[in-house]
Structure 1
């Protein structure tokens, strides 16, 4: 398709579909987001007299994209990530994951659900408002890198201040085909514990230091201590802790000289990440006082829990618009997984974050798809939400 301005009435569905197809065709698996940003930049270039386009580089080939349009005293943020997970076993796919395929009203491809359909929907919604000069206020599009592996694009934009002046933020993550809206989420702590010991023949274990014993001791005590964090969030449930990987030793008749343990913790607002850090750091310090213990603890892309209230004004507005577009109320929900919202919540402003977008339950799955009727409805939903957000009585 060309990148000229869109004429006629509303952007035709064939053009809306072409944008989503083009995004699917860019294999932005933990990288190459700059190619997505390039394409989106071309789409918005015809409107550069109305907008500000900014590229924020995270690493070579990995650019966040920020587009600010319109004027006004308050700013509405619309966000989506440009990366996708790997397609996995291609034999499990019935179509090429990086060639969008439409069958029976569904579009199949990697990212169709999570979340290039959501990204495309907010992009198209903004393009149409620019084309018809119907921007109701100041809107900022935030297209991020690296959400699937740690939300570091959102973290970079937050630290640079791009979310500080927001009055509300809508992230177009899949939400049961727009039937639900996420407003709170658990935090994530991925940790790695390493232990150093001393090898010896298994027939004389007293001559060695068993590193595997030491990580197992840590595991036992960590589970017991974290279990005392027993408050239960009414929406998110309890804090959870899973020891997911243990490695150690070289052969069956030797004392292991090294071992590693990895764990995943999902935190809640009542038990924030710092509380967990303090417990684990204290445990490691105690164990390292024992003879022969040499433990080291590191973290991988921790995310704070995202607090929220179901009756926040933005959530009420989303429900109102949802009833107008779909004829039904939207269900407020909590989410066990992290999103870019976990980073944007660190912005200086005081604003509500809501997660709502097209896509069902096929995120990260083979034969991932989005219902095209929902995708088209999402475009209308975002446009009407923007209009309602800037209405005088809001």
Structure 2
């Protein structure tokens, strides 16, 4: 595919405002690119609605029992302060070899590269094997598109999965990732006038007890992952009370825990639940805890055949050796790991560290080269025996 057409595809994706919504427009557009091939026996196009206006997309090309998975998410984060942008975030603009726009790096650039790779195989009528694209909704706010596709079996039976998340302009391959536990603890009390506090129950006082004790509790999860580091915990939001001269009857604290494979989410859930139960044994305490879209940590294998294959293909194309890393942020990998089958999941994409920022951008040279990388990787993937 000519470079001008590649830029057009990426620009059209950026033009769609899919901030945790309207992903169906992204799915419609990508599906339209494959429409000329829809009558082929080796092409399948399926849109899977999550909610109205929000469609996942699964496109399968090629034949065979061995399946290579490609994945990218269709949503983007909010633009933030528009005055901080030097151009319209939904109109791709090229300046000095960089293409600017919301989602350029995270991750419409990577998604476009995967789409172009598959279209090139179709145009050349030379598909090396069976390739399945899983394009998802809602990655930025909870990975619920990936969860839906996994639950419905679309990721079952893969032999490997490549997620095109931004990875230092294709210089890193992410093999593991921290999990996420967002929690909210609510304390209920009894409101009375502040002049007679002994007649009420102070919800904030009780929540402060939880806030202090949960810090000590999470500190006991002190094992260090060699790639991801330690489990981390941040108390990020606290609010409560009705007015300054009343004993507060309700208070809420929210926190964020980033887990590692040594501490599965259920282990952390049990510890937090137990703490709440202990506090509720005290007179007047009424605490409850809720978990919001928890995601499991992803444990990767640096010696897996897929990682070794990526290293081999990368060495043929890039002057510097690729770095094998862990990712502190969550991704759709945390949901796809629950699919049936024993396969590696890796992240490697053409984006950079401007993700989630104003003036988000992607290097066009890196973008073009990523397409060639994905092609060579797919071709090598389907060779029955590869020497590393």
Shift of 1:328: 2.8
Shift of 1:250: 1.7
Q: What is the aligned partner in structure 2 of residue 304 from structure 1?
A: 296
TM-score (norm 1): 0.96
Shift of 1:203: 2.0
What is the aligned residue count?
Answer: 384
* Distance across 1 between alignment mates of 2:319 and 2:302: 20
Q: What is the aligned partner in structure 1 of residue 125 from structure 2?
A: 133
2:345 aligned counterpart, secondary structure: strand
2:159 aligned counterpart, secondary structure: strand
Q: What is the aligned partner in structure 2 of residue 6 from structure 1?
A: none
* Distance across 1 between alignment mates of 2:342 and 2:151: 15
Q: What is the aligned partner in structure 1 of residue 249 from structure 2?
A: 257
Match of 1:190 among 182, 185, 194: 182
Tell whether 2:89 aligns with 1:108: no
Q: Is the 8 A contact 1:33 1:82 kept in 2?
A: yes
1:166 aligned counterpart, secondary structure: coil
* Distance across 2 between alignment mates of 1:350 and 1:330: 24
Tell whether 2:145 aligns with 1:153: yes
Q: What is the aligned partner in structure 1 of residue 312 from structure 2?
A: 320
Q: What is the aligned partner in structure 1 of residue 203 from structure 2?
A: 211
Structure 1 runs of 4+ off > 4 angstroms?
Answer: none
Shift of 1:323: 1.0
* Distance across 2 between alignment mates of 1:338 and 1:392: 32
Q: What is the aligned partner in structure 1 of residue 83 from structure 2?
A: 91
Tell whether 2:169 aligns with 1:177: yes
* Distance across 1 between alignment mates of 2:57 and 2:64: 21
* Distance across 2 between alignment mates of 1:345 and 1:214: 38
* Distance across 1 between alignment mates of 2:187 and 2:69: 45
Deviates more, 1:66-75 or 1:259-268: 66-75
Q: Aligned-residue CA RMSD in angstroms? A: 0.8
Q: Is the 8 A contact 1:320 1:329 kept in 2?
A: no
Q: Is the 8 A contact 1:75 1:137 kept in 2?
A: yes
What is the correspondence of 1:1-394 to structure 2 with a 5 Å cutoff? 11-48=1-38, 49=40, 50-394=42-386
Q: Any idea what the Cα deviations from partners look like across 1:143-201, whole Å, max 9, x if unmatched?
A: 00000000000000000111111000000000000000000000000000111101112
